[in-house]
Amino acid sequence: MARRLFLSVYLHWFRRDFRVRDNTALALAARLADAVVGVFVVDTRWFPSAAGCMGPFQARFWLAALTELRRTLLDLNIPLRIVTSADPAAALVVLARELHADGITFNKEYEPGQLALDRRLTRLAQDAGMQVRACKDAVIWEEFELLTGAESVYQVFTPYKRAWLAALAAKPTSVAGLPRRGTGLCCAADTVPAARALGYGAVEDSLPTGESGAEAMLAGFSGRLMRTYAAQRNYPAVEGSSRLSAHLNAGTISIRQCVVAALRGGAARDQCGGAGTWLAELIWREFYRMILFHYPHTVTEAFQRRYARLTWPERPDRVAAWSRGETGYPIVDAAMRSLAATGWMHNRLRMITAMFLVKDLDVHWRVGEDFFRQWLVDYDQASNVGGWQWSAGTGPDAAPYFRVMNPILQGRRFDPQGVFVRRWLPELGGVPVKSIHQPWLMSAALQKQAGCVIGRNYPAPLVDHGSARLAAIGRCVAAAARSQKSGR
Ligand SMILES: Cc1cc2nc3c(=O)[nH]c(=O)nc-3n(C[C@H](O)[C@H](O)[C@H](O)COP(=O)(O)OP(=O)(O)OC[C@H]3O[C@@H](n4cnc5c(N)ncnc54)[C@H](O)[C@@H]3O)c2cc1C
């Protein structure tokens, strides 16, 4: 059918690039062929709501993005096909054959699992006599474009950022428009499955979805919040950051759209201003991608070899209390409850809760990394592993082993009035500001008066931060010494 009506057909595989604007590989497919068919593979190893799979917030967010994408693609005469399979590479080639496609395009990803998938797809497609075109799209600079003077991989962020900005000044980036409109539809579009049909329960959508939602959010942030970002971004009770992470991860907005917005906001002129600080965060995203590309073992192992010998006991009770937001430390508990309710957590709170789990509760960072994966709407393997290894002190350019965030001081500094804490812990609603980050210090009479009796309405602290901190530092020192002794 496709052959009879169209001279050439290309399949574009949507993986984490759910947009039509500024989509490099989609635009390439539209240039190469008369007819383009978009395809998304519901990978059954990843999609059902089960352990080890995509969490409910992210699944719903992706499906909403796909629903909008299906509509916008049809305006361009590109039908979206949905294929369900546990072997995406094979499924893509089967569909391409059925449509008599000449080739397949996709945008590159940099995680170990995705790279293996790309290799398999390339081999199968080439065996079937098809072209495969993979494009750089998700990053400004990819794996071998930014190396040190000695041709090695940057392991420290600041020099990486410097090189990143210098490369951008030498070769500015720009945003492309819509792909060329096809001459007609070469097959019908499929319906995007509902989250329920994939086994997901209902969760509340807390973000505007799809490409249109992303563009509106970027416009709102650029017009209003970008200027104050440097000053406001650390305070969870205020709207101080872009909240674009879920969109950047689903590709409903491109990294180039964000970088161009930051440059328009003055990022190049003033690196410490709002736009410059925001651009630096976008560069962290890329830094972690490149680290994961070059050091894929860091998905499960410490980046810093000297911490390879850290040992972690199983602590199911502590993990359960942390995940439920019942540690007795209000800033930690409020953060964990906000994650469960919205699928998103403020960056400052990610650092506090991650460090608390690893250092205060002595739990392996992988346990937390896995928990965040199940709940985050913006889950991204590179950034999540990067963030957890940073917090554990085991990653590249990580927090040093002696830095253990104090949840009381962090709470006082970044939520001074307890506005965020009260929002998520209504049981602390009557606690005076003075005690909001240490409610257990209230006298029995005051606890009663505040309607918050420790041990009844709100838990007593699970551990004592002071002694937990010393123990955490001791563990790191001992692990480094063991590793030095064994020559590793
Ligand atoms: C333990 C831990 C786990 C994390 N897990 C993830 C994750 O799974 N997915 C994810 O996208 N981010 C993760 N981050 C990074 C960061 O917390 C989020 O990107 C940020 O909170 C998203 O909010 P925002 O979009 O308002 O960010 P903004 O402050 O507006 O920043 C703009 C963009 O820059 C990127 N960015 C910002 N901070 C970081 C960072 N520290 N590392 C990498 N990229 C960054 C994000 O794409 C973000 O959308 C994690 C951080 C920690 C400490």
Residue 347 CA to ligand 1 centre (angstroms):
6
User: Domain of 312: which CATH number?
Assistant: 1.10.579.10
DSSP 399: P
* For range 375-384, the mean pLDDT: 97
* Ligand 1 binding pocket, CB closer than 6 Å: 233, 241-245, 248-249, 278, 281-282, 284-285, 288, 347, 350-351, 354, 372, 376, 378-380, 383-384, 386-388, 391
- Residue 159 pLDDT > 90, yes or no? yes
Tell me whether residue 347 is one of the annotated catalytic residues. yes
Instruction: Tell me: do 350 and 468 sit in the same domain.
Output: yes
Residues 18 and 99 in one domain: yes
Mean pLDDT, range 417-421, rounded to an integer:
98
pLDDT at 388: 98
Residue 52 Cα to ligand 1 midpoint, Å, equals 21
Domain boundary at 294, 314, 331, which? 294
Is 347 inside a domain boundary? yes
The atom of ligand 1 lying closest to the CA of 351 is 53
Nearest to residue 343, comparing CAs of 243, 235, 443, 211?
243
Cα of 486 vs centre of ligand 1, distance in Å, is: 36
Decide which of 348 and 312 is more confident. Answer: 348
Atom of ligand 1 nearest to the CA of 368: 1
Domain membership of residue 354 as a residue range: 305-485
- What are the respective helix, strand and coil percentages of the chain, to the nearest 5? 50, 5, 40
Residue 130 in tokens: 């098809």
Residue nearest to atom 19 of ligand 1 (CA): 245
Mean pLDDT of 255-276: 96
Task: Please identify, among 236, 269, 294, the residue that sits at the C-terminal boundary of a domain.
Answer: 294
> Do 323 and 287 share a domain, yes or no?
no
Predicted pLDDT at 7: 83
- Looking at the fold, whether 97 and 162 belong to one and the same domain comes out as no
Would 256 be classed as within a structural domain?
yes
The answer on 430 and 394 residing in a single domain is: yes
pLDDT at 1 over 80: no
Domain shared by 66 and 147, yes or no: no
How many structural domains does the chain have? Answer: 3
Backbone φ and ψ for 119, nearest 5 degrees, come out as -65, -40
- Residue for token pair 């720009």: 174
pLDDT band at 155 (very low <50, low <70, confident <90, very high): very high
* Assigned domain for 205 exists: no
**62: annotated active-site residue:** no
Same structural domain, 320 and 437: yes
**What value does the mean pLDDT take over residues 135-160?**
96
265 Cα–ligand 1 center, Å: 20
Do 329 and 422 lie in one domain? The reply is: yes
Distance from chain centroid for Cα 342 = 15
Binned at pLDDT 50, 70 and 90, residue 47 comes out as confident
The CA distance from 52 to 225, in Å, is 36
Query: Does the annotation count 141 as an active-site position?
Result: no
Is 300 among the domain residues? no
Evaluate if residue 488 carries a pLDDT over 70.
no
User: Residue 411's pLDDT is what?
Assistant: 98
Q: What whole-number percentage of the chain has pLDDT above 70? A: 98
Over residues 299-321, the pLDDT tens digits come to 999 999 889 888 889 999 999 99
Average pLDDT over residues 17-33: 97
The residue contributing the CA closest to ligand 1 atom 6 is 384
Alpha helices in 295-431 (DSSP H): 316-324, 330-342, 347-355, 365-375, 381-392, 407-414, 419-424
* Structural domain contains residue 186: no
When the pLDDT of each residue in the chain is averaged and rounded to a whole number, the result is: 95
- pTM of the entire predicted model: 0.97
Residue 182 domain-assigned (yes or no): no
CATH number at residue 258: 1.25.40.80
Span 162-173, mean pLDDT? 97
**Does the annotation mark 145 as catalytic?**
no
Q: Are 330 and 276 contained in the same domain?
A: no
For 176-196, what is each residue's pLDDT tens digit? 999 999 888 889 999 999 999
Respond yes or no: is residue 284 known to be catalytic. Answer: yes
The residue type at 217: M
Q: Domain boundary at 294, 325, 358, which?
A: 294
Same domain, 270 and 237: yes
Residues 317 and 424 occupy one common structural domain: yes
Task: State whether 346 and 457 are in the same domain.
Answer: yes
